[in-house]
């Protein structure tokens, strides 16, 4: 609220009427750790029992990455997720490597606007020069800004058996959703093995 007339989409961009679900971009913080865990599991480089050392902060030049309520010990992937470890998340993303981490985010649609009946969402704010530090901070939700709609769309294959279903504001049956997801020619992700 306040609402806008979908037949006059330009009204939605008025700062007092902006649809924050599709046009507000935010650094999502720790919820991005879900994406990082899915990425390292999907890559086959780790499983839920793989251990990442979260004993001490990561120092990168003048920057440091630490945990808010750190356990200060090695953590399994499962524990890193449960305890919301920034250190372990950064190490998972670096275990994947910068190109593979970025490719996974792209595969989930987090680097492109989401297209619905209302048109494309706002574009994400992506680092101009994507380096190791960007990958480490994006792993725990900082340095990449996306819309809530993008995050919700990217999360669908993680909880839907690996099947990405393009979002809609219109009613559709399960069968229609499956048909759209398998026949989609848009740059939405193919089914992921983590699910």
Residues with active-site annotation: 30
Residue partners of 193: CB distance under 8 A and separation at least 6 = 42, 162
Residue partners of 169: CB distance under 8 A and separation at least 6 = 116, 117, 118
As given in the structure block, the two tokens for residue 57 are 């902060």
In whole angstroms, give the CA distance from residue 166 to residue 120: 12
> Is it true that the peptide bond before 2 is cis, omega within 30 degrees of 0?
yes
């Amino acid at each position: 609220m306040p609402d806008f007339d979908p037949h006059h989409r330009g009204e939605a961009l008025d700062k007092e009427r902006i649809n924050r679900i599709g046009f507000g971009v935010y650094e999502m913080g720790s919820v991005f750790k879900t994406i990082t865990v899915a990425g390292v599991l999907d890559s086959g480089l780790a499983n839920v029992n793989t251990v990442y050392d979260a004993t001490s902060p990561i120092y990168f030049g003048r920057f440091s990455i630490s945990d808010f309520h750190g356990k200060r010990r090695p953590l399994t992937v499962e524990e890193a997720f449960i305890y919301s470890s920034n250190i372990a998340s950064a190490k998972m993303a670096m275990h994947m490597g910068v190109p593979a981490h970025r490719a996974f985010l792209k595969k989930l649609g987090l680097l492109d606007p989401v297209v619905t009946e209302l048109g494309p969402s706002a574009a994400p704010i992506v680092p101009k020069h994507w380096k190791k530090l960007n990958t480490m901070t994006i792993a725990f939700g900082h340095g990449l800004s996306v819309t809530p709609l993008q995050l919700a769309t990217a999360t669908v294959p993680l909880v839907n058996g690996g099947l990405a279903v393009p979002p809609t504001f219109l009613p559709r049956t399960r069968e229609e959703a499956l048909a759209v997801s398998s026949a989609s020619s848009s740059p939405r992700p193919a089914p992921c093995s983590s699910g």
